[in-house]
Amino acid sequence: MVSGQPLQLLGGLSAQTFLRDYWQKKPLLVRQAIPGFQSPISADELAGLSLEEDVESRLILEQGQTPWELRHGPFAEDTYQQLPESHWTLLVQAVDQWVPEVAGLKERFRFLPQWRMDDIMISYAAPGGGVGPHYDNYDVFLLQAQGHRRWRIGPVCDGSSPLLDHPDLRILAEFQNEDEWVLAPGDLLYLPPCLAHFGTAEDECMTWSLGFRAPSAAEVLTHFSDFLAEFLPDEQRYTDPDLQPAGDSHKITGDAVLRLKTLIQQSLDDDRLLLSWFGQFMTEPRYPEQLAGQEISEAGLRRAIADGALLARNPASRLAWAEIDLGPLLFAGGQSRLLSPRLGPLLGLLCSAPALYADNLAAWLEDPEALTLITELLRQGSLEFASE
Ligand SMILES: [Mn+2]
């Protein structure tokens, strides 16, 4: 993709201009970002998903048993018969993992790092329904898929913005409306992190949310230091060979803080470990139970491919890769694997090809390391046999 090329999805902006002027900075409304868009999933099908044990779903009723009542799925068939006519919404997470046509939306956002992308949540709302005024800590693209939703945009919020007293939902106690649009099918709204927004259904409507993942500083520090600790020998400790006689022996002095700082900085200052950790962290699956994997031998895999089998990425898997001085690193399902440099071109295939089969895989199956890798990815569940 040429980064300077105008994109209809971005209202004629290039990826470059969008990233420079809007990404993480200000909202962008694009009318007819996907002209003639028709939702490949109906409201009934979405409700059907919410009955499934494996699917994460929530219902929010503005005037339920409590204000903004939150219920967690899976729901029962009769749940929907008992809901009021208006002012409720159903949220279903990771619909892209269950409906391939929904996953297709992510392809349009190839100009953004795949590993930054979260799953696609779909919300269905009865007239007047919504989740209340709130802000999110991450970027989101909101695609209107069916019906109409009014979006009101407020100021940038932070941890000091007053919230309603609610056990589970972070709903803003005050909302100042600064902008307002009604989105129709095919319209797209980009919102940067922390911007207050309030969506309400004008009629029965469905909205797709493509959110982005941004680990918090607290997550990065705690998870990376846990990872790092496994590589740090017990002998590596606080040291003070330059210790001076104490004035007051109870006082912790500034030089102790400096020594600690040095110890921390020296331990953190390993780019290769940081990259290894980050790739593993960002490819951890949201639903690990969906990565079942299957037992297969290398010979079995070769036979299956020769017999016409197709492999595809498991929609629940997350893949990424990086390059270090020793060769390419593949991250899959929270694990990393260092590969021989000659396997570099295979990574593009594994991460991006719609399917893997005899034509694009044959040469690789003759390479023992590649064959082992592909077999491992099947066993681990990142790849699976596709039915067509
Ligand atoms: Mn939101």
Number of structural domains, the chain?
A: 3
User: CATH number, domain at 358?
Assistant: 3.40.366.30
The candidate with the shortest Cα–Cα distance to 164, out of 65, 66, 58, 64, is 66
24 lies in some domain: yes
Provide the residue range defining the domain that includes 228. Answer: 218-243+251-269
pTM over 0.85: yes
How many Å apart are CA 192 and CA 188, to the nearest integer? 13
CA dist., res. 211 & res. 140, Å (int): 4
Q: What digits encode the pLDDT tens for the residues 65-103?
A: 999 999 999 999 999 999 999 999 999 999 999 999 999
**Is 181 found in the same domain as 108?**
yes
What is the Å distance from ligand 1's center to 21 Cα?
A: 21
In the beta sheet, which residues pair with residue 323? 328
Taking the C-alpha atoms of residue 142 and residue 27, their distance in angstroms, rounded to an integer, is 11
Domain shared by 368 and 238, yes or no: no
Q: Are the CB atoms for 88 and 59 separated by under 8 Å?
A: yes
Residues of the chain below pLDDT 70:
1-2, 388
Asked if residue 282 belongs to a domain, the reply is no
- Residue 29 has which token pair? 């409304």
What is the structure's pLDDT at 362? 84
Task: Give a yes or no: residue 113 inside a domain.
Answer: yes
Ligand 1 centre to CA of 9 (Å) is: 20
From the CA of 210, how far away is ligand 1's center (Å)?
10
- Expressed in angstroms and rounded, the spacing between residue 184 Cα and the centre of ligand 1 is 18
Tell whether 277 is covered by a domain: no
Q: Is residue 127 part of a domain?
A: yes
Residues 77 and 93 in one domain: yes
Residues 233, 129 share a domain: no
SS3 329: strand
pLDDT digits (tens, 9 = 90+) for 129-186: 999 999 999 999 999 999 999 999 999 999 999 999 998 999 999 999 999 999 999 9
Å from CA of 384 to ligand 1 middle: 33
